[in-house]
Amino acid sequence: MSKVTIKDILKKFNLELISGEEGIDRPVTTSDLSRPGLEMAGFFDYYPQERIQLLGMTELTFLEKLNDEDRKNRLQRLCTDITPGIIITRGLEVPEELIEASERESVPVMRTKLTTTRMVSHLTNYLELQLAPTVAVHGVLVDVYGVGVLITGQSGVGKSETALELVKRGHRLVADDCVEIRQEDQDTLVGNSPALIEHLLEIRGLGIINVMTLFGAGAVRSYKRITMCVNLETWDKNKQYDRLGLDEEKMKIFDVEIPKYTIPVRPGRNLAVIIEVAAMNYRLKRMGVNTAQEFTTRLEETIRDRDDD
């Protein structure tokens, strides 16, 4: 899980730091946010203190109607030793009691001119992206006809050479050797390259090449949703490979399953063309055209007709 601190949020959203500067290195561990309305009314039984707290027009107007003692008590209870930070929206005035409590507990209090709803939307999207579960996979990620194809296989099987051929045929490289994959939403996997090797491709016997420099900016992209996996393996004459495409294998990454195709590698096979066809066939299936199923149905009808004769 990526580490996000209040300092990152201050920089990302250009927030004004009002108080609690000592706590700007506090980590943010959840993308959930809290608008402490019930807490302002004195109900702290289920106070989600690990979340960033947002105070807008409603909360601050309610606070103004409280007597001095209640207002001070509730703002003190709002600032705990694990509260990442408090954001005041709409550029509203920050209560003195909140500044005092935040300085005492080193809870950063920040201010933005955005409305509460818009700030919640922007901040939630940012945190979900940064805190999404991430894993590194050995392989190559290529954008083929708009389909994110993750190419896996043992070292030396020809993944990078296949990716190079795909780039030459007009497709785009996302990552070579190491693909960082994060889960966005419940069914979305997005892959990108580590910054150190971005746009680079390693070809044995040739060395490391810069794809963007050789083929132009249109030959690369920074990230891509992964929708299928092609696993390359050395041809095994004793193994039965799928010849119809009816039994679809799956690859599971986090909670997401994507189609997986095992392609045997041997001299004379054009892997780049095979992967292109696999990507186009995947798109056809998404549109409801399943060639393997149609062939099976046609075959069954032919057999049935012969039996009737």
Q: Point out the annotated binding site for Mg(2+).
A: 160, 202
Helices (H), the chain: 6-13, 37-40, 57-64, 68-78, 96-105, 116-130, 159-168, 211-215, 271-286, 291-308
Bridge partners of 264, per DSSP, are 233
Active site residue 243: yes
> Are 195 and 250 spatial neighbours (Cβ–Cβ below 8 Å)?
no
Catalytic residue among 104, 118, 138, 204: 138
Residues contributing to the annotated binding site for ATP: 153-160
Identified catalytic residue from 65, 237, 239, 243: 243
Sign, CA torsion 167/173/179/184: negative
The CA distance from 285 to 189, in Å, is: 19
Structure tokens at 19: 């108080």
The number of CA neighbours under 13 Å toward the Cβ of 149 is 33
Residue 242 annotated to the active site: no
199 carries an active-site annotation: no
Q: Catalytic pick from 159, 172, 182, 224? A: 159
Catalytic residue (one of 8, 143, 176, 177): 177
Hey, which residues are catalytic here?
Answer: 138, 159, 177, 243
